[in-house]
Structure 1
Amino acid sequence: MLPDEYCQQKAAASGSSFYVSFRFLPADRRKAITALYAFCREVDDIVDDQTMDAAQARFKLDGWRKEIAEMEAGRPDHLITQALFPHLEAFNLDVNLLLAIIDGMEMDLDKVRYESFDDLKKYCWHVASAVGILAARIFGLTNPQTGEYAEKLGLAFQLTNIIRDVGEDIKIGRIYLPADELKEFGVTEDDLEKARYTPEFSELMDFQAKRALSLYDEAFALLPEEDRQSQRPGLMMASIYRELLLQIKKKDFPVLTEHVSLTKTKKLWLAWKAYVDE
């Protein structure tokens, strides 16, 4: 199998909202973002593999750190790094950001609770904002402020994921909702584990959603006009993710027992609307 084919299959199999926007890119940028996304899926799958113990997962993540070093030296071995290597210089892709993503994935092996939102933001930077910065470079940027937009948008995306996946995460022992906010709203870990839909839970989740929606608005405000057209793929992703968050909010956060998602048709419509609006 060719490197680009492997990455294409990896990205397509995920069914992610992100993949929908890739098809609107020119071929070289599409190949680069698909390789980046395949890398993120590969390292994330290591940590999420419940058949693997922490020591095995760390060993595999260390293997990826070595593979990134080999790629930087011009000797990529894995199909993903072979696909990504040609784009490093073309799109100014900093390997330190790739390593930061691996560090973020490893945080899931070290930490399953976050005391505060500031604490959580450090995790989100590694697993989402670093990805956003790399993606923005692939899409094309001329103004450094676009990096700030991408960083904040990545945080909004990750908070949306956290809200959507509360019930799924608690099943594997992870709680990303800040502990001090759980306490402030009167929601216990037992409430989450037993899937209790209390008024306090609704208030807590509404607070989380409002913060995420505010971050989308802050990100959009940061995007310089001269880079809006090139950053259309990110705006398309944002349109899909923001709508998903609004749907979760409209349903009063059934996230303890339900995986809320948008249909493929809805995602394509939102992506196309965002594309033509820009």
Structure 2
Amino acid sequence: MNFDDYCQQKAAPPGSGTYYALRQANAARQPLLAALFALRRELEETAKETSDPTVGRTKLAWWQKELAGLAAAGNGAGSGADNTAQAHPVTQALAHHLDDVKATYPALQALLAGYAMDFDQARYLDFPNLRHYMDAVGGTFATLVARVSARDASAAAQWAAPLGNALMLAQFVPEIGNDARHGRVYIPIDELQRYNVTAADLINRRYSDEFTELMKFQTARAREAIAAALDGIPAAERRGQRTLRSLAALSLALLEEVERERFQVLHQQIVLTPIRKLWIAWRAARRA
């Protein structure tokens, strides 16, 4: 398996939402996008599926060295440089496809630092506190994705970061049960208290009218954030951001499905069917 095949399988296996969202991008940009999504998946698995914080930090430290080596090598698309200095298929792919590795390195560092926060904090006092995590993970990643196809890459963060944060808010809703079982609660403590829901309720899968009201609030906020972020994409950039717009449409559809299932997300994972994902991504990508 070469590095492109590895990234595709890691980030976007057939039937996944990412698979259909990536297919909406320009074919020439898909390998780089797959590499970025694969990197996010690697870091996310390290942060969220490693129970021992010491082991997790060690794994992230390895990734830090790998990304630093990538930047030091200065490889870039079309440079003709040897990318075998990178040990991992994901960094090999980034070395091969990125036009300017060194310019991208600070954002890659920020993304890694964001996932490192999962080993330092499993609860968030309020929304501004949570926002720091969202900025580092969601905002940074969406900016990396947006820059791949942006007409003005230098300005991409202004409109891509809010969309990345909004997509994270949407992700928290269907994943709340799974996250809680891994010891992490991304709903701020003051919001749990406002609706009289405890972290123990989430971990022990206790449904209640209060939980339903809490989830209605979380869902409405995510929807509003996605709508506002989509409106904020400049007209000149919309066509090139088919992947991000497809992800937004898929997130909105999943929120609708969760709502239809009465927010029964503590004991099960609610998903969209592959054919529905295909239709949603295709339709969203073709909207002006």
Fold similarity call, TM over 0.5? yes
CA contact (8 A) 1:115 1:178 kept: yes
2:107 pairs with 1:108: no
2:16 pairs with 1:19: no
CA contact (8 A) 2:12 2:19 kept: yes
Q: CA–CA distance in 2 between the matches of 1:188 and 1:57?
A: 27
Alignment counterpart, residue 233 of structure 1, candidates 202, 219, 243? 243
Matches within 5 A, 1:99-138: 99-138=109-148
Q: Displacement of 1:14 after TM fit? A: 8.3
Q: Identify which range, 165-174 or 21-30, moves more after superposition.
A: 21-30
Q: Displacement of 1:60 after TM fit? A: 1.4
Call closer, same or farther: CA 1:191–1:124 in 2, change over 3 Å: same
Call closer, same or farther: CA 1:255–1:93 in 2, change over 3 Å: farther
Residue 62 of structure 1 corresponds to 61
2:156 pairs with 1:141: no
- SS of residue in 2 equivalent to 1:230: helix
Residue 38 of structure 1 corresponds to 38
Matches within 5 A, 1:1-278: 1-13=1-13, 16-50=16-50, 53-74=52-73, 75-89=85-99, 94-142=104-152, 146-278=156-288
- After superposition, the C-alpha distances for 1:49-92 in whole angstroms (9 at most, x for unaligned) are 34x62212111111111111111122433221111113333598
Amino acid at match of 1:257: H
Q: CA–CA distance in 2 between the matches of 1:107 and 1:264?
A: 32
Q: Identify which range, 33-42 or 99-108, moves more after superposition.
A: 99-108
- After superposition, the C-alpha distances for 1:215-273 in whole angstroms (9 at most, x for unaligned) are 11110121111111111221111111111112212322111122111000000000111
RMSD (Å), alpha carbons: 1.9
Q: CA–CA distance in 1 between the matches of 2:109 and 2:155?
A: 23
Q: CA–CA distance in 2 between the matches of 1:16 and 1:150?
A: 22
- After superposition, the C-alpha distances for 1:85-140 in whole angstroms (9 at most, x for unaligned) are 13333598621111111112111111111110111111111221110000001122
Call closer, same or farther: CA 1:253–1:216 in 2, change over 3 Å: same
Q: Displacement of 1:15 after TM fit? A: 5.4
Residue 80 of structure 2 corresponds to none
CA contact (8 A) 1:92 1:137 kept: no
CA contact (8 A) 1:149 1:219 kept: yes
CA contact (8 A) 2:202 2:266 kept: yes
Q: CA–CA distance in 2 between the matches of 1:150 and 1:216?
A: 11
Report how many aligned residue pairs link the two structures. Answer: 277
- SS of residue in 1 equivalent to 2:139: helix
- Calculate the TM-score normalised by the size of structure 1: 0.93
Q: Identify which range, 140-149 or 115-124, moves more after superposition.
A: 140-149
Q: Which runs of 5 or more structure 2 residues have no equivalent in the other structure? A: 74-84
- SS of residue in 2 equivalent to 1:89: coil
- SS of residue in 1 equivalent to 2:99: helix
Identity among equivalent positions (%) equals 36
Call closer, same or farther: CA 1:118–1:16 in 2, change over 3 Å: farther
Q: CA–CA distance in 1 between the matches of 2:179 and 2:9?
A: 26
Amino acid at match of 2:69: E
Q: CA–CA distance in 2 between the matches of 1:14 and 1:53?
A: 31
Q: CA–CA distance in 2 between the matches of 1:55 and 1:70?
A: 23
CA contact (8 A) 1:145 1:224 kept: no
Q: Which runs of 5 or more structure 1 residues have no equivalent in the other structure? A: none
CA contact (8 A) 1:11 1:37 kept: yes
Call closer, same or farther: CA 1:145–1:33 in 2, change over 3 Å: same
